[in-house]
Amino acid sequence: MTNQLKRLIRSLPKAELHIHLEGTIRTETAIALAQKYSHLGLIDAVKKLKGIDTFTGIEDFLAYYQLCMKLLRSADDFALAVYEYGQAMFAQNILYSEVHISVYQHLHLFQKGLNLSDIFNGLEKGRQKAHDDFGVCIQWIFGIPRRRHFNSDGIFNPEIAVTVLEYAVQGKECGVIGIGLGGNEVNAPPEPFERVFKKAKEMGFKALPHAGETDGASSVWGALNELQADRICHGVRAIEDEKLVRTLAERKVPLDICPTSNLRINLYPSLREHPFSELEQAGVIVTINSDDPSIFGTTLCDEYLALAKEFDYSNKDLARFARNSFEASFVPNRVKKTALQKIVLWEKETHRKERK
Ligand code: ADE
Ligand code: ZN
């Protein structure tokens, strides 16, 4: 049964809307990069990462995420990471993906000597080759690291966010479609970022902040009302506020839900307690995502499978989640049209086989 379900999920055409490039690096590639840059002394730490299945919390996880960030140090490294993610997309029948990148950290931390054009060259080379070899389509979300904007007294300085927006403007031709807001939400609320997000939206970028992961409903309200979020990254803790759940459903603001990520950083003890199904039953548009698949030891197909088993989802339910993933995305129209047609065919085919 599980193998059959695995095959079905694999064959379902999907989009992935919440994934960080730095969290996609395959273990073998991470070790090879750590060896390439052996002077950094990261080999043992990278090998250890493979064995970790739970983090004590987001800060513990973010330390490993930083480790992955340190490994990408040249245009070729970026091209390789993107290409290999394209390969993973193909293996899972993910036709389209919106990928977060911590561009500010790559350019300003870890003394890499990189410049913005190195990053664009790498991203573009990787995505073009992935498109040519695997037919997959990728667009980028440039992340604002929220915590770095507040000093120890909680005073806000927008400088980094403004810089990230400038980078995004320069990357429009290379497929940058949105602005993210990542990191630990605690003591780093969304409201002070209002002006930067307003400007970003006026310039045609989508607002895609993390909220309702490590902080509760107030963070989601802020992302919704002050940042005019087009989707909420995670947003699961909206479940703590009934009015917020109703508002998300009424305004049709989708949530990028990443179940395994939430379990691994200890937000919920098990999938049984995870609010995915409750949010969806309340009418909220939900999509399924893997967040940082290599760090959390998961894949998008694993996420669909785990949810299908836990909540007993039918093929029709799974097709609805896949459809949501394209409807909630900013995929080019021609890709969207074909993908939705393919989902209809998948449903017909699976229905026909069920009746046999
Ligand atoms: N950056 C990468 N993964 C993240 C997550 N789950 N939450 C916040 N920032 C992140
Ligand atoms: Zn994320």
pLDDT in tens, 293-349: 999 999 999 999 999 999 999 999 999 999 999 999 999 999 999 999 999 999 999
Cα 20 to middle of ligand 1, angstroms: 8
- Give the pLDDT score at 263: 97
In this structure, which ligand is nearest to the CA of 16? Answer: 2
In this structure, which ligand is nearest to the CA of 262? Answer: 1
- Pairwise pLDDT comparison (352 vs 66), residue with the higher score: 66
**Ligand 1 and 292: CB distance under 6 A:** yes
**Ligand 1 and 291: CB distance under 6 A:** yes
Cα 254 to middle of ligand 2, angstroms: 15
CA–CA separation, 319 and 310 (whole Å): 17
- Give the pLDDT score at 353: 82
Q: Which of 22, 98, 213, 280 is catalytic?
A: 213
Tell the residue nearest (CA) to atom 9 of ligand 1: 183
Which residues lie below 8 Å from residue 125, measured CB to CB, with a gap of 6+? 75, 78, 79, 82
**Ligand 1 and 210: CB distance under 6 A:** yes
**Ligand 1 and 127: CB distance under 6 A:** no
**Which DSSP string corresponds to 218-261?**
HHHHHHHHTS--SSEEE-GGGGG-HHHHHHHHHHT--EEE-HHH
Tokens for 190, please give them. 């969304």
pLDDT digit string, tens, across residues 161-207:
999 999 999 999 999 999 999 999 999 999 999 999 999 999 999 99
pLDDT digit string, tens, across residues 206-242:
999 999 999 999 999 999 999 999 999 999 999 999 9
- Give the pLDDT score at 356: 67
In this structure, which ligand is nearest to the CA of 23? Answer: 1
Backbone dihedral angles phi then psi of residue 336, each to the nearest 5 degrees: -65, -45
**Ligand 1 and 64: CB distance under 6 A:** no
pLDDT digit string, tens, across residues 29-75:
999 999 999 999 999 999 988 778 789 999 999 999 999 999 999 99
Q: How confident is the model at residue 1 (pLDDT cuts 50, 70, 90)?
A: low
Q: 87 by DSSP, 3-state: which?
A: helix
CA–CA separation, 309 and 315 (whole Å): 12
CA–CA separation, 244 and 232 (whole Å): 12
- Active-site residue, 347 included: no
Percent of the chain whose predicted confidence (pLDDT) is above 70: 99
* Candidate of 21, 58, 214, 264 to mutate for ligand 1, largest count of ligand atoms within 8 Å of Cβ: 58
Per-residue CA distances from 248 to 178, 221, 228, 255, 310 (Å): 20, 9, 12, 9, 24
DSSP code of residue 268: S
Q: Which atom of ligand 1 is nearest to the CA of 214?
A: 7
